[in-house]
């Protein structure tokens, strides 16, 4: 399957909130004195974010209120609501209770969405809350046939590059990150959020606005994750046409099954000294020093 086109229409709106802010705390450390002291701790912002299509609320998720245009575009694609080229405008607006991301779709797609209302009310870390049937929760995903060959050492390099490109996590130590890596270009972009699913949606949406975005889609690379891999992370990656996931933590059994069916190479437990390949190992060029897009 070819990766979907990531052309995007107009993005508007200037509403913004900080990704994190300092909060006062009392700090105690063991030692001879045993005294508490005043300090500040940076905490990530977590706020309700409503995604609206043509004025109607479709989903409400708890998220870090940054990169919300990317979030809406990625969510729209990975949830199968619409292709990015069917999005006419995205507007981010503050609301007394949180944030709103208002998405306007092409007329034909807007009508289709009205017939497929899938209300979500999800806490952070909940990727499938609110689905109305087991069939929807286990929805089929497109099969990814994109050729890719990556040497094992390059995977370790990719994960090493991800760590210093997480400014919110470096400030708070409490957010997830999703990055996109290409063998011939290295780390292309990274997005962060308190929710791992949100971080991945933001990443996929961001690829729509990367200069040369079509080239990014055609010469496929890998999604890099700082979290565990659950089934919806595989579903979202496959929906974007990306052939490989590399994660620091282990996958679930259902995620492995989904990756096998979707043709996605699933690499997990990626640490400094190695990793484990759970599905489609043909994209890992074992024994080779270099690799590039086939």
Instruction: Report which DSSP code applies to 163.
Output: G
Kindly state the tokens that stand for 145: 């046939």
CA dihedral over 110, 111, 112, 115, signed as positive or negative: positive
Closest CA relative to residue 193, chosen from 126, 251, 249: 126
β partners of residue 229: 251
Q: What is residue 145's three-state secondary structure?
A: coil
Closest CA relative to residue 281, chosen from 260, 258, 261, 254: 260
Closest CA relative to residue 258, chosen from 230, 285, 290: 230
Quote the CA–CA distance of 7 and 22 in Å, as a whole number: 37
Q: Which of 66, 126, 219, 293 is catalytic?
A: 126
β partners of residue 268: 276
Q: What is residue 256's three-state secondary structure?
A: helix
Q: Is 126 a catalytic residue?
A: yes
Task: Tell me the catalytic residues.
Answer: 126
């Amino acid at each position: 399957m070819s990766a979907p086109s990531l052309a995007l229409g107009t993005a508007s709106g200037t509403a913004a909130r900080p990704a994190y802010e300092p909060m006062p705390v009392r700090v105690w450390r063991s030692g001879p004195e045993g005294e508490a002291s005043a300090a500040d701790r940076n905490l990530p912002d977590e706020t309700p974010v409503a995604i609206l299509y043509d004025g109607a609320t479709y989903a409400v998720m708890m998220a870090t209120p940054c990169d919300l245009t990317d979030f809406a575009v990625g969510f729209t694609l990975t949830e199968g609501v619409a292709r990015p080229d069917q999005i006419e405008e995205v507007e981010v607006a503050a609301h007394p209770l949180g944030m709103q991301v208002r998405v306007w779709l092409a007329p034909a797609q807007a009508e289709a969405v009205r017939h497929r209302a899938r209300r979500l009310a999800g806490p952070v870390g909940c990727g499938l809350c609110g689905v109305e049937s087991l069939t929807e929760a286990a929805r089929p995903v497109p099969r990814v046939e994109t050729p890719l060959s990556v040497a094992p050492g390059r995977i370790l390099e990719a994960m090493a590059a991800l760590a210093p490109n997480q400014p919110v996590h470096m400030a708070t130590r409490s957010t997830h990150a999703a990055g996109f890596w290409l063998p011939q270009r290295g780390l292309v972009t990274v997005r962060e959020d308190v929710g791992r699913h949100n971080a991945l949606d933001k990443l996929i949406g961001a690829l729509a606005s990367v200069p040369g975005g079509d080239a990014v889609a055609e010469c496929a690379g890998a999604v890099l994750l700082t979290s565990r891999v659950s089934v919806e992370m595989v579903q979202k990656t496959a929906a974007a046409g990306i052939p490989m996931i590399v994660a620091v933590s282990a996958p679930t059994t259902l995620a492995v099954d989904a990756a096998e069916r979707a043709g996605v190479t699933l690499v997990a437990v990626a640490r400094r000294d190695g990793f484990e390949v759970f599905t489609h190992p043909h994209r890992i060029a074992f024994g080779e020093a270099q690799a590039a897009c086939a």
